[in-house]
Amino acid sequence: MALFCCLKPALLSPMPKREIELEMARRHLAEAEKHIARQEAIIAEMVLHRHPYAASMGERLLETMRFYLANAKAHVDRLERRDIFEG
């Protein structure tokens, strides 16, 4: 009980499920963008150091990551539209 004495009441109230889902989807989208940027940097290093096979494998993985990113963006868009219509 003492743990909650300094928290504002707004912090104790649960968030609506759709808001939690939208925030989670946005977080996943941001994380996917970071992973893609990192993968692009790794591939550039592989090319720079003349590791063509590893670079090509990295490119294949990057294609999959970009596919996931496109789906994550579409998911966020759907959630945002649903949020607008459902208020």
Nearest C-alpha neighbor of 61 from the set 46, 74, 75: 46
Q: How many CB atoms lie within 10 A of CB 5?
A: 6
Say if 72 falls within a structural domain. Answer: yes
Q: Residue 4: what pLDDT?
A: 46
Give pLDDT, residue 13.
54
Domain count, the chain: 1
Which pLDDT does position 87 carry in this prediction? 60
In a domain? residue 60: yes
Query: Which pLDDT belongs to residue 17?
Result: 76
Cα–Cα distance, 66 to 69 (Å, whole number): 5
Alpha helices in the chain (DSSP H): 9-12, 17-48, 52-86
Q: Is residue 7 part of a domain?
A: no
Q: Give me the domain span that covers residue 23.
A: 15-86
pLDDT by residue for the chain (87 residues), tens only, comes to 444 455 555 555 566 776 799 999 999 999 999 999 999 999 999 999 999 999 999 999 999 999 999 999 999 999 999 877 776
Q: Can you give the pTM of this predicted structure?
A: 0.74
